[in-house]
Amino acid sequence: MTTTASVDLQAIGRQAKQAARRLATLGSDAKNRALLAIADALTAHQDEILRANQHDLQAAREAGVTGYIIDRMVLTPERLAAIASDVRDVAALPDPIGQGFEQRTLANGLIIGKVRVPMGVIACIYEARPNVTADVASLCLKAGSASILRGGKDAFHSSSTIARTISRAASEAGMPDDAIQFVESPDRALVAELLTMREYIDLLVPRGGGLIDFVVKNATMPVLIGGVGVCHTYVDASADLEKALAIVDNAKTRRHTICNALDTVLVHRDVAAGYLPRLAARWAEAEVEMRCDPASLEIVSRAQAPNLVANAAAPDDFGKEHLAMVASVKIVDSLDEALDHIYQYGTGHSDAIVTEDYSAAQRFLHEVDTAVVYVNASTQFTDGAQFGLGAEIIDSTQKFHARGPVGLQEITTYKWVVQGTGQTRPA
């Protein structure tokens, strides 16, 4: 089946499968040379990529797109340099392919173990994040897998230009011509066809909240998902309030449009009167709207911070991924109440505690069922590059087979290797 005359997805799948077979045989040096060539090409073709991005941004704004989607779309020389730097970091990482592990000798003399091997073909469907194009392609290449990339319409020209740039650079550096392929159409019907291509695609990664339900319900191949990120920070009774102020503010305001940005701050009642007025003053300057439960609204309203925007929280403000300069605020009476709140409203992405109490920290680490759990640090660190993974395919919120920032090792599989000296199995 081919959905559009201009894009033959079946041909793309066949070509990716052939490219993956060759990629699996290539050594680390060859793949690293290609990655460095990709990084150099992103820098060399900066002007072309930024022009395409401006085209996308203008069209999006004319279509009424605003807020976090625009922020995710924007490319600047600094952001493009950071993308190229991440690709170089991937090149510098140890190659997982061929790594042996869990080797042992059985009683019958058989030597048995596991060896990491490429996944094969990895397809990624994503929306308004052109950086995903380079992140996914570079990680897949280092992990010995071919990639099929399908970007959304909002950042289509940006993603397409990046994909052509890096695919050409990889090919010129000796990689298979079809190791990195981009679906050159934003036609939504193509997504449905991709989901049927189990013969060619070994793993599918959807990135974007609007895609996930459709993909999970319709995909015929394994899917790796990252859900909505409703992220909490709990300020414990024993917290260092200066530390808590810096952590909570960074988690919200450093970049509010990303999935690991703070959505709800929980504050122990014993420190609320000393902490919340200081947070209100900080957030008034940053233009963060505070949506408060009754107890926190009473304290915040007395803070008299200039330009403060503080309102009563609606029921759906807790458990909401704001993706804006908005944060929900709630006072709790205990660590148990904080844990209960996160259990009820969390989405398993990133949650943090600020505390000087070792026992409270250990309980939080043990009991909060989330992909990344923090003690005395900002949730903004949930990122493949920040975790030393070079980049990430996705921040996974599922429990099988990978969780949190997904890097090189998580996009490989393994095979059993058994070496004998003539053993036969007894009857």
Confidence at 228, pLDDT banded by 50, 70, 90: confident
Assign domain 231-381 to its CATH superfamily: Aldehyde Dehydrogenase; Chain A, domain 2 (3.40.309.10)
Query: What percent of the chain lies above the pLDDT cut of 70?
Result: 98
Taking the C-alpha atoms of residue 222 and residue 279, their distance in angstroms, rounded to an integer, is 44
The residue written with tokens 């920290």 in the block is 361
Q: Do residues 138 and 154 touch, judged by C-beta distance below 8 A?
A: no
Phi/psi region, residue 398 (left: phi>0; alpha: psi -120 to 50; beta: rest), is beta
Q: Do residues 327 and 264 touch, judged by C-beta distance below 8 A?
A: yes
Cα dihedral 27/33/39/44 (nearest 10):
-150
Residue 420 in tokens: 């004998």
* Higher pLDDT, residue 209 or 134: 134
Output the pLDDT for position 208: 77
Output the pLDDT for position 41: 98
Q: Are strands 121-126 and 146-150 parallel, antiparallel or unpaired?
A: parallel
Taking the C-alpha atoms of residue 135 and residue 138, their distance in angstroms, rounded to an integer, is 5
Q: Do residues 263 and 327 touch, judged by C-beta distance below 8 A?
A: yes
Instruction: Give mean pLDDT, residues 110-138.
Output: 96
CATH code given to domain 9-224+406-419 = 3.40.605.10
Mean pLDDT, the chain, rounded, equals: 95
For the chain, what are the domain ranges? 9-224+406-419, 231-381
What confidence tens digit (pLDDT) does each residue in 382-417 have? 999 999 999 999 999 988 889 999 999 999 999 999
What confidence tens digit (pLDDT) does each residue in 172-200 have? 999 999 999 999 999 989 999 999 999 99
The answer to whether residue 1 scores a pLDDT higher than 90 is no
What confidence tens digit (pLDDT) does each residue in 231-260 have? 999 999 999 999 999 999 999 999 999 999
